[in-house]
Amino acid sequence: ETGVTQSPTHLIKTRGQQVTLRCSSQSGHNTVSWYQQALGQGPQFIFQYYREEENGRGNFPPRFSGLQFPNYSSELNVNALELDDSALYLCASSYLAEDTQYFGPGTRLTVL
């Protein structure tokens, strides 16, 4: 059984740029959730996708957007990057929206 994978591992961008992060869900899972984790803090919920539709959103501005594809993999897009966007971005997958979430290794984004 393949676990959750994320790419890239690390990314450095400058303020104002756009970035796309990718996630492949665990085999058999149709739900993907994205989280932002600042240093020393717990993960903060960005949004969730269930069967290619957005299924809930946290307190993040519209410049954070996402997609889920028919194979249940997902993308997180962030436009107009700000310095405060520097964080570990985590993807989690689950069989159903309400089930236990299993996390990937994360993408470390640094905005200069």
Partner 1 sequence: EDQVTQSPEALRLQEGESSSLNCSYTVSGLRGLFWYRQDPGKGPEFLFTLYSAGEEKEKERLKATLTKKESFLHITAPKPEDSATYLCAVQAEYNFNKFYFGSGTKLNVKP
Q: How far is the CB of 11 from partner 1 (least distance, A)?
A: 14
40 interacts with partner 1 by CB under 8 A: yes
- Window contacting partner 1 (CB under 8 A); options: 14-22, 50-58, 65-73, 75-83: 50-58
Distance CA 2, CA 105 (A): 13
CA-closest candidate to residue 111, choices 29, 13, 1: 13
Single residue of 25, 26, 48, 74 touching partner 1 by CB under 8 A: 48
Which 3 state secondary structure label does DSSP give 51? coil
Task: Supply 38's token pair.
Answer: 């600042």
Task: Supply 77's token pair.
Answer: 């897009």
- Using the minimum distance from each CB to partner 1, give the nearer residue, 43 or 66: 43
Contact of 81 with 16, CB cutoff 8 Å = yes
Distance CA 53, CA 68 (A): 7
x-or-dash string of contact with partner 1, 68-97, rule CB under 8 A: --------------------x-x------x
Q: Which residues bind partner 1 (CB under 8 A)?
A: 4, 6, 31, 33, 35, 40-45, 48, 50, 55-56, 58, 88, 90, 97-98, 100-106, 108
